[in-house]
A = this chain, B = another copy of it.
Amino acid sequence: MIRVNGNYLKLAGNYLFSEVANRVAKYQEENPGARVIRLGIGDVTEPFGPVITGALRGAVDEMSRRGTFQGYRSDKGYEFLREKIAQHDFLSRGVAMDPEEIFISTGAKEDTANIQELFHRDTRIAVPDPVYPVYVDSNVMAGRTGGFSDGRYGGITYLDCTGENSFRPDLPDGEVDLIYLCFPNNPTGQVATKDDLKKWVDYAKTKGAVILYDAAYEAFIRDDALPHSIFEVPGAREVAIEFRSLSKTAGFTGTRLSYTIIPRELRIPGDDGGSHSLNQLWDRRQSTKFNGVAYIIQRGAEAVFTEEGRREIEATIGYYLENAAIIRRGLEKNGIEYTGGVHSPYIWLRAPGGLSSWEFFHRLLDQCQVVGTPGAGFGRCGEGFFRLTAFGSRENVIEAMERFSRLK
């Protein structure tokens, strides 16, 4: 008789953002007149400009003509796109990257969730706390953890991110094999310096560990001294995988395109005594379980990496960063402590009056009709914190912050 994967039964509660959506839906049902402003899920709101739109249109036209119609192609993505990424994201910052080291995918969520498949089931993982839930849940589902109690899963090393370490994780006490890092960070908005990353690269080299570096928000960095990629740190090519996304960068949350970088030098041992290329293993994983991103979408993405496209999305990123500044000023005016919101679309605030994260969630929803994300949903160290995002329209962001003055 068939049985379910018991690891799924260990999962604690709903996926965070589904839970938030459910509670907001309930509130709206009970308060049909309320105009709710959502600064919760990190979803973009600004439409595509003419460059990306034009590229998408052109690709649709190609699909309607024999000769330019596109069917299956490499699940790794079109070369025209991988070459532009290598040039724009890496070479322009002095990092050589072969297009063969770049894998196009439908989302950094998918890739950060799936990448753990490449590793042994006994892999000891480390995640920051607070953390993007996908890193953890995907490992729970794979059976790498014990049960959930007191806000944490057994078997995971949690790296506390608190005010004391400026929300930047310290090296673990014990040994770990696989380390998830994210800078600019979701949810805290913190950034890492090259020295911060060097510390982790050195650790990984010493311990034979691998770093999974989520750089989905790198485009928000405005200080040229800060690294956009972990591969700006010497030696990282032997120990790190990097995830990037057009979701927040170029407004692709509903259009779906990301990419994952796995350098050729990254090889790890197997129980067979051999040394195995993670680039090749991921290639095999993707060719078995994935069939590539739609041609139309890849052409739209290509436009992001042209000079005109870049100007288009830089304007939008600037718009969101100005939103972040408005949120920061609003919080200051209301005497609410926060971090982030610079080089990042995320603002991480301390719930005022010693409220718990979910208490503040409901208070903010009830009194201000503003939706944010409870910090506790990102981990135990997130309890008492709350995440706002800068992705609303300007009017909504301004109004949301005005409504903060209603908070009692």
Contacts and interface: CB of A to CB of B under 8 A. Distances in A.
Interface of A: 1-6, 8-9, 11, 14-15, 17-18, 41, 43-50, 53, 56-57, 60-61, 63-66, 68-73, 106-107, 109-110, 113-114, 117-123, 133-134, 137-138, 141, 143, 177-178, 207-210, 251, 253-256, 268-272, 274, 276, 278, 281, 284-285, 287-297, 393
11 contacts: A1-B177, A1-B207, A2-B177, A4-B120, A4-B269, A47-B66, A69-B254, A109-B291, A114-B289, A254-B295, A296-B297
Given A113-B288, A294-B254, A69 B48 contact: yes
Contacts of A66: 45-47, 393
Contacts of A253: 71-72, 291
Given A119-B4, A120-B3, A290-B110, A63 B44 contact: no
Contacts of A291: 106-107, 109-110, 253, 256
Nearest to A286: B15
Contacts of A9: 270-272, 274, 276
A60 B71 contact: no
A120 B4 CA distance: 5
A36 to B, nearest CB: 16
B2 A268 contact: yes
Per DSSP, chain A at the interface is: loop
Contacts of A294: 106, 254-256, 294, 297
B69 A292 contact: no
A159 to B, nearest CB: 17
A110 B289 contact: yes
A250 to B, nearest CB: 12
A120 B81 CA distance: 39
A138 B3 contact: no
A207 B3 CA distance: 12
B118 A4 contact: yes
Contacts of A143: 121
Given A9-B276, A47-B63, A293-B256, A269 B123 contact: no
A137 B286 CA distance: 12
Given A5-B121, A71-B253, A72-B254, 20 more contacts: A2-B120, A2-B209, A3-B119, A3-B271, A4-B268, A4-B269, A6-B272, A8-B281, A15-B284, A15-B288, A18-B287, A46-B69, A48-B69, A53-B63, A70-B254, A106-B106, A106-B294, A121-B143, A254-B292, A255-B295
Contacts of A297: 294, 296-297
Nearest to A108: B291
A63 B60 CA distance: 14
